[in-house]
Amino acid sequence: MRLLFMGPPGAGKGTQAMRLSAELGVPQISTGDIFRHNVAEQTELGQAAQRFMDAGEYVPDEVTNEMVRARLAEEDTRQGFLLDGYPRTVDQVQTLDEILAELDQELDAVVVLSVDSEELIARLLKRAETSGRDDDNEDVIRHRQEVFKAQTAPLLQTYEQRGIVVEVDGLGDVDEVAERIVGALAAAGKS
Ligand code: B4P
């Protein structure tokens, strides 16, 4: 199974991708988590990413694409993967297409989680109480929503045209949303 998880910040991508990857036995590849790990370890990649993340901006495509290319070349992705938070720009969509063509692989589905924006902001403000993330403060949270609307939401059309989008209502408790995702994938003949 090769899946993408897309949706605005706070929609539950990371939360749901972690659960589903354990169920399917394929790795979850979260670009946000990889960046945060590198920031914590103060690697060169982390230094390149940090100021963009702190400002709620996307890390430049060339940095992000190179990181994903290297990750998808690893052996554990042969049987499938779940990409969480990538691609987020037109350039990243093109690069992912190239990477998958080189690997002779295709995406099975793009899971899109939809949640209204006030709920998204409330969730991220709640997470801010404990996360310690520099991008979990109200101004940056609102900016991240704008960046998503401008740069990432339009990409959904590309995948819709390919007929692989599975849209799921992300409102409700985590178990409920997880059940909906499994049900929607099955209904689309993707499991
Ligand atoms: P991410 O780590 O992807 O952060 P995010 O969009 O905020 O989503 P996240 O996965 O954390 O939140 P989730 O919706 O699961 O990106 C962070 C930054 O990294 C970006 O701003 C950018 O700078 C950089 N970056 C990452 N990928 C990039 C790329 N491809 N290109 C360029 N830059 C990139 O959950 C949010 C909260 O909601 C959690 O607290 C969770 O517990 C809660 N929640 C989840 N489901 C819920 C539910 N059903 N009910 C209530 N709460 C719920």
Helix (H, G, I), strand (E, B) or coil at 89: coil
Q: Where are the beta strands (DSSP E) in the chain?
A: 2-6, 28-30, 81-84, 109-114, 165-169
pLDDT confidence of residue 93: 98
**Tokens 């045209």 appear where?**
161
Global pTM value? 0.94
Q: Ligand 1 centroid vs 30 CA: distance in angstroms?
A: 9
Whether 85 is in the pocket of ligand 1, judged by its Cβ within 6 Å, is yes
**Tokens 């991708």 appear where?**
17
Q: Which of 36, 133, 142, 180 is catalytic?
A: 133
Q: Ligand 1 centroid vs 13 CA: distance in angstroms?
A: 6
**Tokens 């991240």 appear where?**
144
- Cα(108)–Cα(86) distance, rounded to whole angstroms? 15
- Cα(29)–Cα(44) distance, rounded to whole angstroms? 20
The reply to whether 51 belongs to the active site is: no
Q: pLDDT tens track of the chain, all 191 residues?
A: 999 999 999 999 999 999 999 999 999 999 999 999 999 999 999 999 999 999 999 999 999 999 999 999 999 999 999 999 999 999 999 999 999 999 999 999 999 999 999 999 999 999 999 999 889 999 999 999 999 999 999 999 999 999 999 999 999 999 999 999 999 999 999 87
pLDDT confidence of residue 191: 75
Whether 52 is in the pocket of ligand 1, judged by its Cβ within 6 Å, is yes
- DSSP tag of 166: E
Test site for ligand 1: of 16, 31, 131, 168, most ligand atoms within 8 A of the Cβ: 31
- Cα(138)–Cα(121) distance, rounded to whole angstroms? 8
Q: For the chain, how far is it from start to end, CA to CA, in angstroms?
A: 8
Residue 163 CA: distances (Å) to CA of 8, 78, 166, 169: 21, 23, 9, 18
- Cα(42)–Cα(84) distance, rounded to whole angstroms? 23
Q: Which residues pair with 81 in a beta bridge?
A: 2
**Tokens 């801010």 appear where?**
128
Q: Ligand 1 centroid vs 10 CA: distance in angstroms?
A: 5
The reply to whether 144 belongs to the active site is: yes
What b/e sequence results for 90-99 when a residue is b if at least 16 CB atoms lie within 10 Å of its CB, and e otherwise? eebbebbeeb
Q: How many CB atoms lie within 10 A of CB 30?
A: 21
